[in-house]
Structure 1
Amino acid sequence: AVLLPVLTVAYSWRLGVLVVGILMLAMAFLSFIFYKERPVLPAEGASDAAPTSKKGPKGSILKVMSNPVLLILCLITPLMAFGQTGIASFLVLYLEEDLNFSVGLAGGCLTVAMIAGTVGRIGWGIISDRLFAGDRIIPIIILSVIAFIGALGTAFLSKGFPVWLPFFWSILMGGTFIGWNAVLITLAAELAGKELAGSIMGILVTIAWIGIIVGPPVFGYVADGFGYYWSWLLIAVFALLSAVGFLYILRLSKRGNQEVSVG
């Protein structure tokens, strides 16, 4: 993601795509050689088999999916994925067409957004583990609010603003809309448990792909019909919905803890 804009501007988009394809093949080969599954100990296998034999996997999946946090995740992930693909697809075009940025300068904004996304995917996990003692909800709320601010700031950009400001908004959007994956996916895996982590993750990622597929055409249609302002405002609203949804979950969890303490 960092190299692609640079290679495209310096050489051609074909070379950029070729390099990305080679890197993907290299990563697949290295994963095949070096990645090993953790061996399952006999005690773990016995403990895992017991609950599975009592309940069918279908019933267990339905029970896990009825968790309100997972339901909120299923609603939020396609919205955040929508924002992610909208940024990746249209940020450069927006800066070129509306703000008269050069291709190199616009590509630089996309580059810093991708770098911020890479840092965010690691950073939000560290923040969740270290600062919030493994709490995933609060970091997701913070992430969503920052994403809202970044998209809203981008919507209000104009030619009179200083050059550094689009870079700043790009960093905010990259660190959140592109960096959201790890902490949300970790939350889903933890809620699913070891037995159903694969199944639940498959469902969640499939739902997220709805936003990935729908995002670029809808973002582009809104930009063509009404202007980029409304496209950025749309993903800002999606980020705000994410924050509101997880604030609701946080309220439910606090209410549940209070009921347990009273009981």
Structure 2
Amino acid sequence: MAFGLLSDRAFAGGRRIVLFIAGIGSALCSLAMAGIGPGSSPWLLAALALTFGFVGIGWNGVQHTLMAELAGARTAGTAVGLGLAVSSLGVTLGPPAFGWLVERVGGYRLPWVSLAASMGLALVLLGFVREGRRADR
């Protein structure tokens, strides 16, 4: 809800900028997780988990809105459905892949850095998305 308000109010309906903010925040949180050691403060871990949860999950509504707006009224349902399918695939395959990588390399640093790198790639791809101008923005 917060990212939707940010998109509508602070960025005049701009969706991409909010997705960039969430993506950069997620990548930074992943890198922070890569740098945390076993002796880290529980307060630091809690603050990082809260921040990561906010930026890592709070963007979904904005993503669906952007997909619907880009697709137009006739194909919005198909676009959002496809987006949900792809997102669900990532949510399903990501955690086991992360765990496999943890076991393979014997630690958490590389998996967290890999997650940050994948977010970086997603941000590059998002850079190619062009939002249309709307009279209602």
TM-score, normalization by structure 2:
0.86
Over the matched positions of the two proteins, sequence identity in percent amounts to 33
Aligned to 1:243: 123
Aligned to 1:230: 110
Aligned-pair CA distance for 1:248: 4.0
Aligned AA (1:210): L
Aligned to 2:52: 173
What value does the CA root-mean-square deviation take over the aligned residues? 2.0
Aligned AA (1:142): I
- Which consecutive segments of 4 or more residues in structure 1 shift more than 6 A? none
Whether the aligned pair in 2 keeps the contact of 1:141 and 1:242 (CA below 8 Å) is no
Question: What secondary structure, in the 3-state scheme, does the structure 1 residue paired with 2:72 have?
Answer: helix
Aligned AA (1:175): F
Task: Identify the structure with the greater helix proportion.
Answer: 1
Question: What secondary structure, in the 3-state scheme, does the structure 2 residue paired with 1:195 have?
Answer: coil
Matched residue count: 132
Aligned-pair CA distance for 1:213: 2.0
TM-score, normalization by structure 1:
0.47
Once residues 159 and 232 of structure 1 are traced to their aligned partners in structure 2, the CA distance between those partners, rounded to angstroms, is 15
Whether the aligned pair in 2 keeps the contact of 1:192 and 1:200 (CA below 8 Å) is yes
Q: Higher Cα Rg: structure 1 or 2?
A: 1
Higher relative contact order (CA 8 A, sep 6+): 2
Once residues 191 and 201 of structure 1 are traced to their aligned partners in structure 2, the CA distance between those partners, rounded to angstroms, is 10
Aligned-pair CA distance for 1:162: 2.5
Aligned to 1:129: 8
Aligned AA (2:72): G
Which sections of structure 1, spanning at least 5 residues, go unmatched? 1-121, 258-263
Aligned-pair CA distance for 1:247: 3.1
